[in-house]
């Protein structure tokens, strides 16, 4: 019987390289692929492509580089710019997984006769009474399930996350035992297409946005209390750069690019008891008439917080937290879990 053919997505890092080793040991007939996404990127740049090619040569598997630069620009980078212009704080990594990586690679796999896609994400797949479920990665410090909330549930049976059962130290140890050149390679951080981490410079250089559009700074009642240097320079919860003149610290409560206003207030005013979501995606069937007990991550590194999930019409939802949450930020993802199982989420509006 012929071995099942599968693609393995290689970023040039150690996690995806070890995913390839594990899938090869499990008997898959592998094809390694790397998506070329962006010039001067922190992920999948020319050095990463060289490293991925070397890994494939060592494992004796064929390797291809796929050009997705234009799709990445349209579906991730341009949306990133538009979100900032609309006064939101985007999460491009989750959007890349939602709109580009998995769908595109599975389609590419079909052309090559492969129906399975493996990646180096720290997440787990498990058959449960609810069907194929997506679970948190075993290593809590590396768990990446947050970024996968918007996957099409129908694709889960075709996916493999081989390192999801491992911790990072074990992954590196396995890479060393196999003599992989990427065993000690450092992880990429921050936004891959903003190499220096300065998103303001990126918005100015790439999109030509004017970052210094001075406007009014108002308090929660709408009274003008000062001026700001441009809404693009701020995000909800920010304290730095708001100036003095107040007896207590001020924080950004909201941004209004239309009126070019930054609304500020006390830290107490940052706390809200609910979040409203749009463009939701659910990996399991949920009744719209019920309240669902969940824990919610409002940011990748935030602690899961308990609350009630209520589904609304038109792909919207509301989360009512047991305790008010600090700096709920429009444009970020609110990702919902029941125990270890990821059930989906949506974009905070």
Binding residues, as ranges, are 9-16, 35, 120
**3-class SS at 146?**
helix
Q: Which residues contact 252 (CB under 8 A, 6 or more apart)?
A: 234, 235, 236, 237, 238, 239, 242, 262, 263, 264
- Catalytic residue check, 192: yes
Q: List, as own/partner pairs, every contact residues 219-222 make where C-beta atoms lie below 8 angstroms and the sequence separation is at least 24, other chains included.
A: 219/263, 219/264, 219/265, 220/253, 220/263, 220/265, 220/269
Q: In what order do the strands lie in the sheet with 215-218?
A: 224-228, 215-218, 261-265, 251-256
User: Which of 44, 56, 93, 96 is an active site residue?
Assistant: 96
- For every residue of 171-225, DSSP letters joined together read HHHHHHHTT-TTTTPPPP-S-TT-TTS-HHHHHHHHH---S---EEEE-TTS-EE
Q: Which of 44, 56, 93, 192 is catalytic?
A: 192
Phi (first) and psi of residue 200, to 5 degrees: -65, -45
Binding site per annotation, positions for ATP = 9-16, 35, 120
- Spatial distance between the Cα atoms of 29 and 40, rounded to a whole number of angstroms: 32
Exposure letters 106-137 (e unless 16+ CB within 10 A, then b):
bebbeeeebebbbbbbbbbeeeeeeebbbbbb
DSSP 45-89: -HHHHHHHHHHHHHHT--EEEEE-HHHHIIIIIHHHHHHHHTT--
CB distance 160 to 102 below 8 Å: no
- CB atoms inside a 10 Å sphere around CB 246: 13
C-alpha torsion sign, points 254, 259, 262, 264: negative
Contacts of 323 (CB under 8 A, 6+ apart): 305
- Report which secondary-structure segment, H or E, holds 108: helix 102-111
Question: Active-site residue numbers?
Answer: 96, 192
């Amino acid at each position: 019987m012929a071995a099942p053919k599968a693609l393995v997505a290689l970023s040039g890092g150690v996690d995806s390289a070890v995913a390839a080793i594990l899938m090869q040991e499990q008997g898959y007939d592998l094809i390694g692929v790397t998506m070329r996404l962006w010039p001067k990127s922190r992920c999948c740049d020319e050095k990463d492509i060289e490293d991925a090619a070397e890994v494939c040569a060592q494992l004796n598997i064929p390797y291809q580089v796929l050009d997705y630069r234009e799709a990445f620009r349209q579906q991730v980078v341009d949306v990133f710019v538009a979100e900032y212009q609309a006064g939101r704080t985007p999460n491009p990594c989750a959007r890349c997984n939602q709109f580009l990586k998995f769908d595109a690679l599975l389609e590419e796999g079909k052309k090559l006769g492969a129906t399975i896609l493996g990646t180096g994400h720290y997440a787990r797949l498990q058959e449960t009474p609810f069907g194929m479920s997506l679970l948190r990665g075993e290593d809590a410090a590396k768990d990446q399930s947050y970024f996968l909330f918007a996957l099409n549930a129908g694709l889960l049976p075709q996916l493999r996350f081989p390192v999801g059962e491992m911790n990072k130290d074990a992954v590196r140890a396995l890479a060393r035992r196999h003599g992989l050149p990427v065993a000690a390679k450092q992880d990429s951080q921050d936004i891959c297409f903003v190499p220096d981490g300065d998103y303001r410079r990126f918005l100015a250089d790439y999109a030509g946005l004017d970052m210094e559009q001075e406007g009014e700074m108002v308090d929660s009642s709408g009274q003008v209390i000062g001026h700001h240097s441009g809404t693009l320079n701020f995000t909800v919860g920010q304290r730095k750069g708001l100036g003095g003149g107040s007896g207590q610290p001020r924080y950004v409560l909201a941004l209004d690019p239309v009126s070019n206003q930054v609304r500020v207030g006390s830290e107490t005013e940052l706390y809200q008891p609910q979040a409203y979501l749009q463009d939701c995606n659910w990996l399991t069937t949920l009744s719209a008439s019920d309240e669902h007990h969940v824990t919610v991550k409002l940011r990748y590194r935030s602690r899961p917080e308990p609350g009630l999930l209520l589904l609304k019409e038109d792909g919207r939802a509301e989360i009512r937290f047991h305790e008010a949450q600090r700096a709920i930020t429009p444009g970020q993802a609110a990702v919902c879990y029941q125990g270890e199982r990821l059930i989906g989420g949506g974009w905070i509006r």
